[in-house]
Amino acid sequence: MERTWSFRFTPFRFILGIIVVVAVVAAVMRFVFGLGAVTNLSDEWPWGLWIGFDLLCGIALAGGGFSTALIVHVLHREKYLPIARAALLTSLIGYIIALVSLFLDIGRWFNFWRPFFYWGYHSVLFEVFWCISLYTMVQVLEFGEIFFEKIRCAPLQKILHFFMPFLLILGIVLPSLHQSSLGSLYIVTIDRLNPLWWSMLLPFFFVWSAFFLGPAMVTFEGTLAARSYGRAPELPVFQSLTKVTLWMMIIYLLVKIGDLIYRNELGRAFNGSFESNMFLIEMVVFVIAPIVMYATPSIRTNLRGVVTASFLVVAGVVFNRMNVVFTGMADAAGGHYFPSMWEWIITAGMWSALILAYCFVVENFPILPKEDLEHHEGGKAHIEAGKSIHA
Amino acid sequence: MSKGVLVDVTRCIGCKSCAVSCKTWNDLPSKTSTFTNNWDSPGKVTADAWTIITSFVIEQGDQIKWRFVKRQCMHCNEPACESACFTHSFVKTKEGAVIYKPTELKQDYCVGCRYCMIACPFGIPSFQWDKAFPYVQKCRFCYDRMKEQGLQPACVTSCPTQTLLFGDRDKLLKEAWDRINRDQRYVKHVYGEKEYGGTSWLYISDVPFDKIGFRTEAYGKPVSQKSIPSYTWDVLKWTPYIFFGWGAILTAMRAYTKRRAQVHDESELYEPEKKG
Amino acid sequence: MTNSFTDYKNSDVFLMIGANPAENHPQVMRFAGIAAAKRGAKIIVVDPRFTKTAAKADIYAPIRPGTDIAFLYGIMNYAIENNLYFHDYVVNYTNASFLVSPEYGFSDGLFTGLTEKDGNFSYDTKTWQYQTDGANIKKDPTLQDPQCVFQILKRHVSRYDIKTVCNITGTPEDVYRKVCELYCSTGKPDKAGNLLYAMGITQHTYGGQNVRATAMLQLLLGNIGIAGGGVNAQRGESNVQGSTDQAMLYHYIPGYNPCPDVNTPTLKDYIEKQVPKTSYWSNRNKFIISMLKAWFGDKATAENDFCYGWLPKHTGKDHSHMAIFQAMAEGKIKGFFAWGQNPAVGGPLASRTRDALAKLDWMVGVDLFETETVSFWKRPGVNPADIKTEVFLLPTAMSYEKEGTVANSSRWIQWRWKAVEPPGEAKSDLWIADRIFKAIRKEYQAGGKFTDPILNMVWDYDVPGHDEPDIMKVGREMNGYLVADGSLLDSFAKLKEDGSTACGVWIYAGYMFVDPALKVPACQRRSREDKTGLGLFPKWSFAWPANRRIVYNRCSADPAGKPWDPAKTLVAWDGTQWITNDVPDFGFKDANTGAFIPPNISASNCFIMNTEGVGRLFAPTGMKDGPLPEHYEPIESPVKNLISKQQNNPVAARYKGDFAKVAHTASPEFPYIATTHRLVEHYQSGAVTRNCPTLAEFMPEMFATISPGLAKKLGVKPGDLIVVSTVRGEITCKANVLPIVKPLKVNGSEIEIVGLPWHWGYQGLAPGSTANDLTPFVGDPNTMIPEYKAFLCNVKKASGH
């Protein structure tokens, strides 16, 4: 492997780059003038786009990292190996974005290090903070192996390789905890978050959805990556991943319904209010529809079908998080919130940076499976072998 | 002894002396505000208005009732803000005050994440949005007056109509029920006795609390009598078990499946994308 | 105020009419609250708006602005018809039994004696006098003689039956009946009714008669002179009591003594005309001579009339606020001191007031902030280059930045200590007055016309080495002292007419006298001692006169000196001596012998300031517009007077030119009644409070309150901009839509009320349009107070909104 770096600026990437630069300027403004100057946040809406979308959704979408890690490295379903590194990369970048948005969002950013030393361990956020921080570190180390592979630093690679099993386990336990904790965060909103979403099972719903989101996200982004790089999508991998997603989503749906029945709130889903409609959309379009699609062989076996269903799952999790953060809270919070231009710019900048970073890493590090492997008998044999073992 | 204040809504005349003296004692700046139809600008507590008088004109047939309700931090027995803060920047003192350590004790750990604002069931903690390095602000129960000078809170001392009564919370609770039982006009409810595990500030009123800005019901059910921290603790207490349990399960699974798995040389599986 | 705020806790029923103490006198609600909690006192609030005070009322009676006399007469009529008045009190302590001249008459809204001269009306009071038998006034203690005051009153108020009253006032009949029942329940010996009023009563073209009506009702029910009773005027400003005590009214000199006029050029003339034979005013000569001694010191001698000749003599012309501004507008006034006042916002027809200021050569503003008045030359819509007036602004210290006394409505002269130094170049008012006087004297030393009063004025308040004059020296001069040794007087009873005493303000005598026990001047006392438990607090500051907490307190006991209500004993005759819980307001002890004077003597002289010695249900003197109140419509009214053909007060003060503009009765262009009011967050013209960031935040913008029904009709939502107009102009402000104002049914038709706070102007942190740009330039003939409280307006949604 060569140690040179390459990154080509296409017009699309150039536009993304400009967005990033503008966002950086906006971020500087935010640090100089404060949150009130650049955001539309208020006492009624202390959390907005950056926390609601960038952080919650960013981390949920990065869920592909830990679910893939679980499948590949713990369950050793090695046929999924081709997507493992891409999932890890997306996850890592997702977490970095989450941390950056958190850093942007905290009012007293110069105190960001304080929580490491002053422990408010009764706080859900304490768990979230520690897990996200540690997990990001774990991911960096995991990625370190790839990095050192690239820059051919064998000793370090070796050390990391030695610790890799431990890191891998930690890399699943930590996100499991904080994905659920992100849900637990909203347990405090009892009596304010609409009961369609508020539940003591919020942590379960969050971690579960982050988990089943993983394969869908991998499918979706894998297809995107494949298309943009003109590669053949890993259709067989995607197809078999649907089984994981399908069963998990069925369980998710059943628990959701069971929870509503248990709490005697099922009727609320059909009372015709804005919230109930949003909830029904969430359930029908983004949960039931993908389940049906995944369960239908003709759709599942077709790339278009799989990708569409996966997209719905991904969008569904975003929709769910938005419902928790905004729709379900609106009535109790009062006031109005719509992100300011600057909030949008910074968000757009972060996601643009994500794409650029992804492209850069993919083009410079061994992330995507070797192309020839796909069409190479031996390579296929690798995967087939893996499949055969578990078949 | 944990202190509290009993607010008798029937006695308030909406003179706002409490709100003014709060600003004066605490040196709070003021902002330009706009007209509110109920004459209660700024209408809600803010980082610079820790206590305000809200106003409610209630029409009951031909009769009108106009009630004025002082709002400020309720100083929960088990504060949501304290439990929500991951740097423990809020603390419930033994005197009953819920204080913010960065400004009160000069322990500047707050990162400004505003989870306290999400957590508070009364929507009290407010953020200095206009500052580059903002603090979270709210009523401090005049902790300095109480602690250092043995004084009652500024608002209490400036109330002309004895709407505010300062004292030990348990005695206030008794006084509250005495007044309710003596005078049939009162609603048979002491707001803050049980809500969210109880609060240091207690309210009694002659009009139903839900008509004067208090949440007594949420989504068709009475508001929680359990404290917010107790809910989160019900979840959080499982963390160590999940951490170690889930870690152990994963390790075991990994060990089990690994025996059967092939070993790949990952470096042979992947390559940088060349077509980018 | 006859009583005090702390005494309110003794009341059984409050009748708050034309007052909104919850906003303007919050401390009232403290003691009313105590009365309600401890005695089960009931509160009646009579107001056109459902105020914050009404929110605390047991009965809220809406009333059409300007119909208070009808409202109060209705209660009196109810009391008389149902025999609920306090008979023994009325017979003994009022002039009910006095016979009035047979020539006295009243028909169709007019009293006898109305004369016209050059289109101006005035009353000749000759026919209103008592029948006399030599020096004695004829009486009929049975109250049966048709010419006795009681029968005259009975006939007069009989026209005000409940139906008629409610037709006029718009008060629902059932509510009004409840008010009558509840308030007349205080006509018993052991019940105290407290009538408190404020600007809602006074600011009318018959404001004086409104006040008379409140006093008459209280007399009928025996509520004056007793603990928990009284006619209690909540003064409009914190020290307005003090300023009127000091003669800030143009027809008085300090201590409510009439201003010397051209008809009394000599002291002898003044004493002959202004010092009555009876009543405590028979000592007025002592007050005046002591005042002259205080002013002119050694120069004032018996030989030179104590320099009485140096006092300016009033010509009898109107020099009230409105007259001054009309004269100013006519260019007759060259210079003007706006000293702690802001007429550009606070005066009636403020827009014309501002125009008038431009006619001045110079103006000096003495204020805390750059008020609308001192910045009139650069106000919106004006080119400063067009204004020739030279304007000075002298920054002054706020009350907390200087020391001195403030007299509150309870007549308590309370010392206030300085809390902080004034900022920048701000100086106390005393410093400013001192320097101005000294500068004027310096000018006069160079010669000029009539220099004597200025050159010989006692002006000795300097403390060597201090910049600030010694306010204690000013206090000593006001308090009074023995000329011989300078020792302070403890009471105005010590004042002499021989020049041996000096006293600046007789009613203040004793306020600086050092309390023997507490060792501080009386006004600095802060003892919470209250032995009676009645809230008299005799050792908390000093209440003029003579530290008396409840005036006319002789009336709290029957003629034999037995208290009507022993639980609330102020004074009592125990058979041999007087028990004096309060300082007696009657001759109870012989000044020379120290022997007690038995009760029968004081029983017939219980209102010691009145020449007839009793309370006046009928006022032969003192009022320019009738011996009895009579309902007239405000100058601007949506309806014809229902009680008589006489639409308005015939002798109301009116002005000329631009200032004469009023809408005609039932004007279709101006269909709604406007009334101005205050808000708790702001004070008067807002000159100070709109510059207080906190208060500006709490009440930021000018608004007009309209009923939800009117808002709906006009298509206006809360917060929309609306235009409120009168025949005199228009203002734009926010719409406040609340059911605290509701249309009133007046003689069958519904009339909308519009509430306008008058705190805003173009200066300060929270500027806004000025309600007084709309108010009429007409006033009460006795007090010249403008009719701020009732006028006609129209409301429209502002175009473009």
| Any domain includes A56 | yes
- The pLDDT, as a whole number, for residue C309 is 96
CB contact under 8 Å between B35 and C703, yes or no, is: yes
Cβ of residue B14 closer than 8 Å to a chain C Cβ? yes
Looking at the predicted structure, is the pLDDT value of residue B76 above 60? Answer: yes
Q: Where are the beta strands (DSSP E) in chain B?
A: 3-8, 52-60, 63-71, 90-92, 98-100, 126-127, 136-137, 164-168, 201-204, 217-218, 221-222, 270-271
Closest alpha carbon to A177 in A63, A256, A91: A63
Model pLDDT for residues B171-227, shown as the tens digit of each residue: 999 999 999 999 999 999 999 999 999 999 999 999 999 999 999 999 999 999 999
- Domains of chain A: total: 1
CB contact under 8 Å between B272 and A41, yes or no, is: no
Amino acid at C232: N
C124, C128, C132, C135: CA torsion to nearest 10: -60
Query: In this predicted model, which residue has the larger pLDDT, B123 or B257?
Result: B123
CA of B143 to nearest chain A CA: how many angstroms apart?
22
Question: How much is the average pLDDT of C340-362?
Answer: 96
- The pLDDT, as a whole number, for residue B47 is 95
| Any domain includes A14 | no
CA of C735 to nearest chain B CA: how many angstroms apart?
8
Percent of chain C with pLDDT over 70: 100
The overall average pLDDT reported for chain B is: 92
Pick from B14, B23, B161: which is nearest to C680 by CB? Answer: B14
- The pLDDT, as a whole number, for residue A152 is 74
Pick from A6, A129, A189: which is nearest to B118 by CB? Answer: A189
Lowest mean pLDDT across A51-55, B136-140, C148-152, C424-428: A51-55
The phi, psi pair for B75, rounded to 5°, reads 50, 65
CATH of the domain at A103: 1.20.1630.10
The overall average pLDDT reported for chain C is: 96
C639: Cα separation from own chain's centroid: 28
Question: How much is the average pLDDT of C402-431?
Answer: 95
CA of C52 to nearest chain B CA: how many angstroms apart?
6
Question: How much is the average pLDDT of C7-26?
Answer: 97
**In the structure, what pLDDT confidence band is assigned to residue A377 with cuts at 50, 70 and 90?**
very low
Listed by number, the residues of chain B in 66-105 with a beta carbon closer than 8 Å to a beta carbon of chain C are: 66-68
Query: In this predicted model, which residue has the larger pLDDT, C396 or A244?
Result: C396
**In the structure, what pLDDT confidence band is assigned to residue A8 with cuts at 50, 70 and 90?**
confident
Model pLDDT for residues C525-557, shown as the tens digit of each residue: 999 999 999 999 999 999 999 999 999 999 999
- The pLDDT, as a whole number, for residue A54 is 86
CB contact under 8 Å between B30 and C693, yes or no, is: yes
Cβ of residue A106 closer than 8 Å to a chain B Cβ? yes
- Quick one: closest CA in A to B215, which residue? A191
Looking at the predicted structure, is the pLDDT value of residue A150 above 80? Answer: no
Looking at the predicted structure, is the pLDDT value of residue A3 above 90? Answer: no
Cβ of residue A6 closer than 8 Å to a chain B Cβ? yes
For residue C229, give every residue at least 6 positions away whose Cβ sits within 8 Å of its Cβ, in sequence order, or none.
C2, C3, C11, C186, C192, C193, C194, C218, C222, C223
Which residues of chain B make contact with A165, given a CB cutoff of 8 A? 254
The H or E element that residue C71 is part of is helix C68-81
CA of A236 to nearest chain B CA: how many angstroms apart?
17
Looking at the predicted structure, is the pLDDT value of residue C701 above 50? Answer: yes
**In the structure, what pLDDT confidence band is assigned to residue A202 with cuts at 50, 70 and 90?**
very high
Give the Cα separation of A78 and A58 in Å (integer).
Answer: 26
Looking at the predicted structure, is the pLDDT value of residue C264 above 70? Answer: yes
Q: Do chains A and C touch (3 or more CB pairs under 8 A)?
A: no
B210: Cα separation from own chain's centroid: 18
- The pLDDT, as a whole number, for residue C436 is 97
**In the structure, what pLDDT confidence band is assigned to residue A196 with cuts at 50, 70 and 90?**
very high
The H or E element that residue C219 is part of is helix C207-220
- The pLDDT, as a whole number, for residue C95 is 97
Query: In this predicted model, which residue has the larger pLDDT, A68 or C334?
Result: C334
- The pLDDT, as a whole number, for residue A98 is 86
Cβ-contact A212, A62 below 8 angstroms = no
CB contact under 8 Å between B112 and A107, yes or no, is: yes
CB contact under 8 Å between B132 and A170, yes or no, is: no
CATH architecture of B3-77+139-226: 2-Layer Sandwich (3.30)
Looking at the predicted structure, is the pLDDT value of residue B260 above 80? Answer: no
Listed by number, the residues of chain A in 125-164 with a beta carbon closer than 8 Å to a beta carbon of chain B are: 125-129, 146, 149-150
CA of B204 to nearest chain A CA: how many angstroms apart?
22
Question: How much is the average pLDDT of C118-133?
Answer: 94
Model pLDDT for residues C631-687, shown as the tens digit of each residue: 999 999 999 999 999 999 999 999 988 899 999 999 999 999 999 999 999 999 999
| Any domain includes A248 | yes
**In the structure, what pLDDT confidence band is assigned to residue B261 with cuts at 50, 70 and 90?**
low
Which residues of chain A make contact with B239, given a CB cutoff of 8 A? 127, 177
Looking at the predicted structure, is the pLDDT value of residue B266 above 70? Answer: no
Pick from B38, B41, B65: which is nearest to C55 by CB? Answer: B65
Question: How much is the average pLDDT of B73-88?
Answer: 95
Looking at the predicted structure, is the pLDDT value of residue A388 above 70? Answer: no
Cβ-contact A52, A313 below 8 angstroms = no
Looking at the predicted structure, is the pLDDT value of residue C336 above 50? Answer: yes
Looking at the predicted structure, is the pLDDT value of residue C337 above 80? Answer: yes
CA of B150 to nearest chain A CA: how many angstroms apart?
30
The overall average pLDDT reported for chain A is: 85
Looking at the predicted structure, is the pLDDT value of residue A200 above 90? Answer: yes
Pick from A75, A170, A203: which is nearest to B253 by CB? Answer: A75
Return the partners of chain C (3 or more C-beta pairs < 8 Å).
Answer: B
Question: How much is the average pLDDT of A209-237?
Answer: 84
Interface of C with B (CB under 8 A): 22-23, 26-27, 29-30, 33-34, 50, 52-56, 60, 679-681, 693-701, 703, 718-719, 734, 736-740, 765-766
Closest alpha carbon to A48 in A335, A351, A353: A335
- Secondary structure (DSSP) of A278-339: HHHHHHIIIIIHHHHHHH-HHHHTSHHHHHHHHHHHHHHHHHHHHIIIIIHHHHHH-S----
Return the partners of chain A (3 or more C-beta pairs < 8 Å).
Answer: B
| Any domain includes A19 | no
| Any domain includes A382 | no
Percent of chain A with pLDDT over 70: 94
Is residue B220 exposed (0-12), middle (13-18) or buried (19+ Cβ within 10 Å)?
Answer: exposed
Closest alpha carbon to C411 in C241, C642, C585, C586: C241
- The parent domain of residue A109 ranges over 41-337
Question: How much is the average pLDDT of C61-67?
Answer: 98
Which residues of chain B make contact with A168, given a CB cutoff of 8 A? 254
> pTM (2 decimals)?
0.93
Outline where chain A has alpha helix (H). Answer: 11-33, 35-38, 49, 56-61, 63-69, 81-105, 114-117, 124-151, 154-184, 202-229, 235-262, 274-283, 289-295, 297-300, 303-322, 328-333, 341-364, 371-375, 377-390
C768, C769, C775, C777: CA torsion to nearest 10: 100
3-state secondary structure of A219: helix
Looking at the predicted structure, is the pLDDT value of residue B37 above 50? Answer: yes
- Which of C43, C694, C701 should we substitute to test contact with B (largest number of B Cβ atoms within 10 Å)? C694
Which residues of chain A make contact with B228, given a CB cutoff of 8 A? 188, 190
Cβ-contact C585, C256 below 8 angstroms = no
- The pLDDT, as a whole number, for residue B267 is 63
Percent of chain C with pLDDT over 90: 96
- The pLDDT, as a whole number, for residue C565 is 97
| Any domain includes A368 | no
For residue C713, the tally of other CB atoms under 10 A from its CB is 12
Looking at the predicted structure, is the pLDDT value of residue A106 above 70? Answer: yes
Q: Which two tokens stand for residue B45?
A: 């507590």
DSSP B122: T
Model pLDDT for residues C478-502, shown as the tens digit of each residue: 999 999 999 999 999 999 999 999 9
Model pLDDT for residues C75-95, shown as the tens digit of each residue: 999 999 999 999 999 999 999
Which pairing describes strands C778-779 and C653-654: parallel, antiparallel, or unpaired? antiparallel
Lowest mean pLDDT across A350-364, B162-176, C698-712: A350-364
A365, A369, A372, A374: CA torsion to nearest 10: -170
**In the structure, what pLDDT confidence band is assigned to residue A389 with cuts at 50, 70 and 90?**
very low
